Structure 1
Amino acid sequence: MSRDLKIVSAAMLTWGLGEGMFYIFQPLYIQQFGADPVLIGTILGINGLVMTVGQIPAGYLADKVGRRPMMWASWIFGLISTWVMALAPSLGVFVVGLLLYGITSSVMAPLNTYIQDVRGKWQVGKALTFTSAAYNIGAVLGPVIGGVLGERFNLRLVYYAAGVIFAISTTIIFFAGKDIKEVPVSKPGEVHLLKNKRFLGMVVMIFLVMFAAVLPQSLAANFLQNQRGLSLSRIGQLGALGGLGSATLMLLLGHLPSGAAMLIGQAGMGLFAALLWKGTGLFWYGAAYLFLGGYRLIRAMTLALVQPVVRAKEVGLAFGVVETVNSLAFVVAPILAGFLYDWRPISIFPVSLGVLVVTILLTLGFTRWNKTGEGPVEVEVPDEA
């Protein structure tokens, strides 16, 4: 493993610890400000929209000005916005901090492009899933700590603690080395990204899969507290199991072809929805959250899926487009989840299961089409970072 990949992994580990402390409790904290399920879903949907708009510009800038400056800016912005949420005296101010935090998700395209550049001899999928696993290892402890702090004190304290941990993570990322500039080599048959039919087909399929993966988890914490009577500490323990499942799936399945890994991830999310729907005790809820790792596996593999079919000079832009689509799922899915929850809370899970069945079939069909399609470009990526 290269030096810079170790630094990124350490920064992701600590960020996962901090974000894991409050992420699963975010809908519950918004609820404490007096928001109903529809408003909670709308707020989360708007946050998803904010997460969406910065992805393509960030990916484009990563190709033009470098990945490392974009990473540094996002880490600093995330640190500041977390303290805005921690100090917020009202729902309005908290939402401002939440939306500012959403902007930091634009780091994904520069970050993942940087990981590709510094991965050394590792395959792209393995490098991406390893750093994501580092994040999720941190996310194993985060929800447990957050649940204990929230139950013994209050959820606001969780954001204070996360702000301190993010300061440590930001310090670590500043030790990352310069990203490596590849010299693009033109080849016969190359086409612009937006004329690349295989890439565009992948983008459509990725959105549908991500929507199906986000829907069942959007208001799961609210369901477990309000309908199943679980305490904050119990929900935090479930979140830790989710982080453990994510890290395990990343480490075990990161070497698989991206299409196969995405199918496994969707199957995992189907089990997550089914177990929350039909489960009647903490054991079954714990099993459900172990399978929540399917979401992280899907998200990492969306990038590995598109990387081989785009030109080297457009990788950052392509990753930005994919992350835009990934984030767009966070716009639509929480809003639908909010309406389903307001109508009948448990309905979220059978609806999600049905959508996942459809996307699994679509993924199978797309994988077969992709194997027989003519690739517009084959990108050579050097083995050494």
Structure 2
Amino acid sequence: MNTRRALAFIFCTVALDVLALGVMIPVLPTIVLGFMGGDTAGAAEMFGVFATVWALMQFLCSPLLGALSDRYGRRPVILISCLGLGLDYVFMALAPSLALLLVGRVISGITSATIGTSFAYIADVTRPVERAKAFGLVGTAFGLGFVAGPAIGGLLGGVDPRLPFWVSAVACLANAAFGWFVLPESLPPEKRMPFSWKRANPVGSLRLLASHRQLLGLAVVDFLGSFAHQVLPSVFVLYAGHRYGWGETTVGLTLAFVGICTAAVQGLLVGPIVGRLGSRLALVAGLLAGALGMSIYGLAPTGPWFWAGVPVMAFWGLAGPALQDMMSRRVGPSEQGQLQGANSASRSIAGLASPGVFAALFALSLDRLPGAAFLLAGLLLVAAAAVAWIATARTRPAAPVP
């Protein structure tokens, strides 16, 4: 197998998935508002429904796709998901009603669950000593998609609000065609696991995380980190506008700065730092850096102080690849898909619960401590670091769970 070529395709797949989601951020609310006849309050409520439905589909379908990849291999699941996502963007570009646009978001939530399978593919084709670096490169793809997606969506949406959907469709369909020719299968037949609905449903998949004490502790770390991360999409725009008077341009440039710094850390520094410190110390250091960055965000009295926290926060990017590396070592080859599906389901729960918590705290503390939501996120990351340190104490190189 040409591992480098396969990883290049996985990098492109994740980048295009995130890019395709990002280009819709500036235009989807406008389209929803048009269907609602200009009713801004109603459009805001409906947009919340869209976000909840998308996260719910991720929760339900990530374990299913993970289990299917353990049974039939990673290649067909990834390629079918890329194809389905591309066709779904065509469907949404043509959707003549709000109901059909919502159906498109349901399909998008299902097909976008392929990211977990991509992580399982990386675990299949990389040696344990190289795995954290490979996961870091995929994190770079997230950062690049996060930076470029909304910018491209805003430019294309200025021409036609439906144009970003067509561009996303072309990108995803082209990636599926490219993968058909270059992506080899990573999971040999002798390492595959029979399909079981007990493992393919969200509750059943989460049982895998409880099968090993250290794995359960790392799963708690992943959940707390995912919960804390939701503070940015939940309150950042409102917080920046209220405290610093930032408009759309400054907010967009700040988010681009965040994405660039995160991509730089994950693409350039994860491999050397994990190689020197080990995954355990890199995980704890990344979580504590994230906690410090959140504290700077929450206490920064001016915009430049907030920007000073961005490079600090970027080192939180060490935690994800190190965590994925440690978790992937604690399951066998035939369970990598189930593991990633369970992780995606856990993150979806965090994504469903956290926005309401952070938004409510922001509203309650607006006059006295407007950055309270970021301080809470920082406390969650400190707790995650403590759990990680305790859960991985006195460990030898872990053997896969039978």
Shorter chain as denominator, the TM-score bin is 0.7 to 0.9
Is residue 278 from structure 1 mapped to residue 300 from structure 2 by the alignment? Answer: yes
Identity of aligned residues (%): 22
Query: Corresponding residue for 1:134?
Result: 141
Q: Deviations over 1:23-78 (max 9, x none)?
A: 47766876775346666555423322221111222211111110011101211222
* Deviation, structure 1 residue 135: 4.0
Map 1:274-353; keep pairs closer than 5 Å.
Answer: 274-275=296-297, 278=300, 280-281=302-303, 283=304, 293=314, 297-340=318-361, 349-353=371-375
Is residue 50 from structure 1 mapped to residue 66 from structure 2 by the alignment? Answer: no
Q: Are the equivalent residues in 2 in contact too, given 1:51–1:102 (CA < 8 A)?
A: yes
Q: Deviations over 1:325-359 (max 9, x none)?
A: 12221111123344445656687742232242243
Query: Corresponding residue for 1:11?
Result: 13
Q: Which amino acid aligns with 2:349?
A: L
Which runs of 5 or more residues in structure 1 are unaligned? 186-190, 381-385
Which runs of 5 or more residues in structure 2 are unaligned? 193-206
Q: Separation in 1 of the partners of 2:49 and 2:299?
A: 23
TM-score between the two structures when normalised by the length of structure 2: 0.76
Which residue among 342, 357, 360 is the counterpart of 2:382?
360
Is residue 119 from structure 1 mapped to residue 140 from structure 2 by the alignment? Answer: no
Map 1:137-286; keep pairs closer than 5 Å.
Answer: 137-150=144-157, 152-153=158-159, 155-174=161-180, 175-181=182-188, 183=190, 194-221=210-237, 223-224=239-240, 230-255=246-271, 256=274, 257-266=278-287, 267-268=289-290, 271-272=293-294, 274-275=296-297, 278=300, 280-281=302-303, 283=304
Q: Are the equivalent residues in 2 in contact too, given 1:249–1:293 (CA < 8 A)?
A: yes
Tell me which moved more, 4-13 or 265-274: 265-274
- Aligned residue for 2:113, secondary structure, equals helix
Q: Which amino acid aligns with 2:253?
A: Q
- Aligned residue for 1:372, secondary structure, equals coil
Q: Separation in 2 of the partners of 1:39 and 1:111?
A: 31
Q: Are the equivalent residues in 1 in contact too, given 2:231–2:377 (CA < 8 A)?
A: no
- Aligned residue for 2:342, secondary structure, equals helix
Tell me which moved more, 199-208 or 16-25: 16-25
1:286 and 1:72, CA in 2 relative to 1: closer, same or farther beyond 3 A?
farther
Instruction: Give the count of matched residue pairs.
Output: 372
1:159 and 1:221, CA in 2 relative to 1: closer, same or farther beyond 3 A?
farther
Is residue 75 from structure 1 mapped to residue 82 from structure 2 by the alignment? Answer: yes
* Deviation, structure 1 residue 112: 1.0
* Deviation, structure 1 residue 305: 2.5
Q: Are the equivalent residues in 1 in contact too, given 2:123–2:336 (CA < 8 A)?
A: no
* Deviation, structure 1 residue 212: 1.2
Task: Note the aligned Cα RMSD (angstroms).
Answer: 3.7
1:78 and 1:296, CA in 2 relative to 1: closer, same or farther beyond 3 A?
farther
Is residue 20 from structure 1 mapped to residue 22 from structure 2 by the alignment? Answer: yes
* Deviation, structure 1 residue 176: 1.0
1:141 and 1:269, CA in 2 relative to 1: closer, same or farther beyond 3 A?
farther
Q: Are the equivalent residues in 2 in contact too, given 1:40–1:338 (CA < 8 A)?
A: no
TM-score between the two structures when normalised by the length of structure 1: 0.79
Q: Separation in 2 of the partners of 1:177 and 1:56?
A: 22
1:201 and 1:276, CA in 2 relative to 1: closer, same or farther beyond 3 A?
closer
Q: Are the equivalent residues in 1 in contact too, given 2:70–2:338 (CA < 8 A)?
A: yes
Q: Deviations over 1:167-218 (max 9, x none)?
A: 3333333231122427559xxxxx9765322212322232122111222333
* Deviation, structure 1 residue 292: 6.1
* Deviation, structure 1 residue 6: 2.1
1:65 and 1:304, CA in 2 relative to 1: closer, same or farther beyond 3 A?
same
1:10 and 1:195, CA in 2 relative to 1: closer, same or farther beyond 3 A?
closer
Q: Separation in 2 of the partners of 1:41 and 1:270?
A: 30
Which residue among 95, 101, 106 is the counterpart of 1:94?
101
